[in-house]
Amino acid sequence: MTTTFARRFAAAALIVSAGALGLAATANAQPNTGGGTSGEWDIGAYDFCMKNHPPLYTTEDVLDHHRWCCESTGGVWGSGDNGCHAPPAELSGPTDPFGPVAAPPRNIQAPPPPANPTAPVHTGSFG
């Protein structure tokens, strides 16, 4: 009788701990963006979602389904006309914190020669 109790207790403890680990693993999960992390909209999955839907009886049901298909496949809902759009493009590289590189000046000239050149005061001797 104690063996059966110990087995049931161990099974219950295993299930509870697995559930706790599962909740902890999904607590910081990112939203579904179509399965990719690149920030791209999977328009093929969007089209499939739009064609294969449950019965929609009201306009609100239709809009809810359209928005769900958009956001679940990585699209962005509602830019201006409340439709589904591709997410904005990301920068291709890091930006320079000091701003853009300035072009060199084009009007560089040598300084003018002195007005009255004079002979050196001390010529010096080498030798």
Q: What is the pLDDT along the chain (127 residues), one digit of tens a residue?
A: 567 766 776 666 557 665 555 555 555 555 554 444 457 889 899 999 999 888 888 989 988 999 999 989 998 888 567 788 888 877 666 677 777 778 878 888 888 887 776 766 666 666 5
Answer whether residue 11 is part of any domain: yes
Domain count, the chain: 2
Please state the pTM of the whole predicted model. 0.42
**Residue 68: both structure tokens together:** 């769900």
Domain that includes residue 45, residue range: 32-88
Answer whether residue 39 is part of any domain: yes
Answer whether residue 69 is part of any domain: yes
Could you write out the three-class secondary structure of 44-61? HHHHHHHHCCCCCCCHHH
44 and 15 housed in the same domain = no
